[in-house]
Structure 1
Amino acid sequence: MIYSKLGYTDIEVSKICLGTMTFGEQNTEKEAHEQLDFSLEKGVNFIDTAEMYPVPPNAKTQGLTEKYIGSWLKKRKNRSDVVIASKVTGPAPDFSYIRNPLKIDKKNIEKAIVENLKRLNTDYIDLYQIHWPQRQTNYFGQLNYKYSKENVNEIFDNLNESYEALNNLIKSGKIRSIGLSNDTSWGAMKFLEISKKKSYSKIVSVQNPYSLLNRSYEINMAEIAEMENIKLLAYSPLGFGVLTGKYINNKPKNSRLSIWNRFDRYSNKNAKESTLKYVEIAKKYNITPTQLALSFVNHQPFVVSNIIGATTLSQLDENIKSIDLILDDEILHEIESVHLSQPNPAP
């Protein structure tokens, strides 16, 4: 396993991070504990979760993912062996069962962290992330920024308020570092500006989608990652499993896309065509499509950790083993040719 520091901190994280949004929906508590045990055994020390998980979110299951991780931590008594990342939920009218009104502000952040810690059976979280911004911007598949009529001063006030609340959590020892998620270059730079002006703890990461089907992060966020040491936690590196190639001809029984049609973001016509080409490249070089897709993400210099998810231990094993594969220049050239012919078919 490869390890590196999380931003400016001394927190050392594995290049592979265990994503947990299936815990409590597609995976039972027993299966969740098996995945956690297996991952730790293979050198994965980084676990990502969120207060709104599992996915798809609903009132009945909300919080189960953190509870399953918490029961595992309590049973294993190994808190110091793992790095836990969690999130506070952004604004969404459908999630009023979490808090109402649900916003990224001081009140919501202070309430959220209490419940995060309780469910996780811990007194601190290593990385605490804003799941998505309070302001309207590009995330969850949107690339074409639409000018908002939001009051700019209110946006600035909200950023300052939420950052102060997060910084206070560091001061109180409840969290060790701060990260963003589903955010933009403007958001990251504005947080940097505030941190310098007010001497707050600097953000250490941005968790955004990144895969062979969605390399939009490279356009301007990658430069920030390198220049400011705010690197990427890459999520959906397999595009909801599409890049495994298993959806080319049909939707396997009990697979995510066969159960929930709403997750078709990576299944449009152009994405399917690109996926087929990537599958052909993998076959040509005698590697699996999964290994091709994950290795591509693993070894990007701006990626601090690649968040992988699985519903079975066999899937998890293949995903983790991708860390041992390094794609040569010939394969990377073929990947780039596909990308240039159809850039970012599934943002």
Structure 2
Amino acid sequence: MRKIQLGTTDTMITDYCLGTMTWGNQTPEADAHRQMDMALAAGINIVDTAEMYPVNPVRAETVGNTETILGNWNRANPARRGDYILATKITGKNAAFVRMGEDITAASFTAALDASLARLGTEYIDIYQMHWPNRGSYHFRQNWGYDPSAQVKSVTLAHMEEILDAADRMIKAGKMRYFALSNDTVWGVAQWMRLSEERGLPRVISLQNEYSLLCRLYDTDFAELAVNEQLTLLAYSPLAAGLLTGKYQNGAIPEGSRMAGNGDLGGRKSPRVFDAVAAYLDLAQKHGIDPVHMALAFTVQRPFPVSTIFGATTSAQLTRILDGLDVTLSGDILDEIDAIHRAHPLPY
């Protein structure tokens, strides 16, 4: 299993990461624990979760259950906590089911971290991420009407300094190792980095944004920032919420699938997406590659630092994914992928 440097740190992570967001809703605890054993046995050394998980759907009564399930595995396997890098997230504004939807502040940052530590059954979190910024962003299909004109720069920068100070205190207390972001923008990440350098505060080491064959917003300005500033992308939804498996083609909605519980896949289901998926499925078939393996391999062969987060509702699905983690796409296949991307840009 290939390993890459995590940001500017000396920590090495695998280029694939186990995601957990279905644990506690679609995935029962016993199967979740089986997935942990399988992933670690396959060489995976990074696991991602969040305080708001599980999803599909997110409900007030289930918030924190995924961390608790992972924590139960940690409590049952105390000697193995050092075998993997643990990443989790504090939920941001616009999530009324957590802390009444308040902004992330130094106080909530600290309190949420302590709550996650208790649920996760661990003394420290390796990568602590802001799930999304207080000021909002264009992610989750908000790019079509994104309007930052109401932002107040001085307020944003003061907030960033406040959080970096809190992260510094938590790192010094041994409760977290690294500070990171999710669903942020190029300007936002650049400001976090600038402030950390000017004030000698923790540096952003990774960014968790969506990235797949169907969602390639990261390819331009973010790619340049990532290469020059040693920012690692933790790419989520590399299978586009299951679209790239082909299971939703021709109107199919498998029982128990994400689409069965969330009709539009968080806005990913669009009139144009199925033609794009069909083109990628045809390409995989042409070259005799499992489309799941092709989609995942594409993400880790990008020209910027990336570890791709994959999730599996069942251990059977995880077996399929693990079977393809050593797949490498040829230059010819990558050229054909680029041609499809040009023909089907931004399908959702």
> Which bracket does the TM-score occupy, shorter chain normalised?
over 0.9
In structure 2, give the amino acid aligned to 1:237. P
Most deviating of 178-187 and 6-15: 6-15
In structure 1, give the amino acid aligned to 2:132. W
For residue 211 of structure 1, give the secondary structure of its aligned residue in structure 2. Answer: coil
Report the Cα offset of residue 25 of structure 1: 0.5
In structure 2, give the amino acid aligned to 1:109. F
Aligned match of 1:308: 310
Report the Cα offset of residue 265 of structure 1: 2.3
Conservation of the 8 A alpha-carbon contact between 2:299 and 2:306 = no
Report the Cα offset of residue 264 of structure 1: 4.5
Most deviating of 8-17 and 45-54: 8-17
Report the Cα offset of residue 289 of structure 1: 1.1
Provide the rounded CA distance (Å) in 2 between the counterparts of 1:83 and 1:149. Answer: 37
Over 3 Å off, 4+ runs: none
Conservation of the 8 A alpha-carbon contact between 1:234 and 1:303 = no
Structure 2 stretches of 5 or more lacking a match?
A: none
Report the Cα offset of residue 101 of structure 1: 5.0
- 1:50 pairs with 2:59: no
Report the Cα offset of residue 304 of structure 1: 2.7
Structure 1 stretches of 5 or more lacking a match?
A: none
Conservation of the 8 A alpha-carbon contact between 2:212 and 2:295 = yes
TM-score (norm 1): 0.96
Report the Cα offset of residue 320 of structure 1: 2.4
Most deviating of 73-82 and 151-160: 151-160
Aligned match of 1:119: 119
Provide the rounded CA distance (Å) in 2 between the counterparts of 1:317 and 1:222. Answer: 31
Q: Deviations over 1:32-61 (max 9, x none)?
A: 100101111111111000001000211111
For residue 324 of structure 1, give the secondary structure of its aligned residue in structure 2. Answer: coil
Conservation of the 8 A alpha-carbon contact between 2:35 and 2:318 = yes
Aligned match of 1:9: 9
Q: Deviations over 1:3-56 (max 9, x none)?
A: 122112222211110000000100111111001011111111110000010002
Taking the TM superposition and a 5 Å limit, the aligned residue runs for 1:54-73 are: 54-55=54-55, 56-73=57-74
Report the Cα offset of residue 253 of structure 1: 1.1
Provide the rounded CA distance (Å) in 1 between the counterparts of 2:323 and 2:301. Answer: 13
Q: Deviations over 1:131-166 (max 9, x none)?
A: 000003211112243133233221221111112111
Aligned match of 2:332: 330
Aligned match of 1:24: 24
Provide the rounded CA distance (Å) in 1 between the counterparts of 2:137 and 2:313. Answer: 31
Aligned match of 1:238: 239
Aligned match of 1:110: 110
Aligned match of 1:175: 176
Most deviating of 131-140 and 276-285: 131-140
Conservation of the 8 A alpha-carbon contact between 2:227 and 2:305 = no
Conservation of the 8 A alpha-carbon contact between 2:137 and 2:183 = no
Aligned match of 1:148: 149
Provide the rounded CA distance (Å) in 2 between the counterparts of 1:167 and 1:65. Answer: 26
Taking the TM superposition and a 5 Å limit, the aligned residue runs for 1:216-231 are: 216-231=217-232
Provide the rounded CA distance (Å) in 1 between the counterparts of 2:189 and 2:229. Answer: 10
TM-score (norm 2): 0.96
Provide the rounded CA distance (Å) in 1 between the counterparts of 2:282 and 2:161. Answer: 49
Q: Deviations over 1:277-335 (max 9, x none)?
A: 00000000111111111110122232431000001222112222332111111111111
Q: Deviations over 1:234-263 (max 9, x none)?
A: 000000000001100211111110122152
Provide the rounded CA distance (Å) in 1 between the counterparts of 2:157 and 2:294. Answer: 41
- Taking only aligned residues, the RMSD between alpha carbons, in angstroms, comes to 1.3
Aligned match of 1:289: 291
Provide the rounded CA distance (Å) in 1 between the counterparts of 2:269 and 2:137. Answer: 23
Report the Cα offset of residue 271 of structure 1: 1.4
Taking the TM superposition and a 5 Å limit, the aligned residue runs for 1:197-216 are: 197-216=198-217
Conservation of the 8 A alpha-carbon contact between 2:281 and 2:291 = yes
In structure 1, give the amino acid aligned to 2:295. A
Taking the TM superposition and a 5 Å limit, the aligned residue runs for 1:33-48 are: 33-48=33-48
In structure 1, give the amino acid aligned to 2:13. V
Report the Cα offset of residue 93 of structure 1: 4.8
Provide the rounded CA distance (Å) in 1 between the counterparts of 2:100 and 2:247. Answer: 40
Conservation of the 8 A alpha-carbon contact between 1:213 and 1:266 = no
Q: Deviations over 1:159-213 (max 9, x none)?
A: 1111211122111111000111000100110011101110112110110000000
For residue 249 of structure 2, give the secondary structure of its aligned residue in structure 1. Answer: coil
- 1:74 pairs with 2:75: yes
In structure 1, give the amino acid aligned to 2:22. T
Identity %: 40
Provide the rounded CA distance (Å) in 2 between the counterparts of 1:313 and 1:136. Answer: 35
For residue 149 of structure 2, give the secondary structure of its aligned residue in structure 1. Answer: coil
Conservation of the 8 A alpha-carbon contact between 1:191 and 1:203 = yes
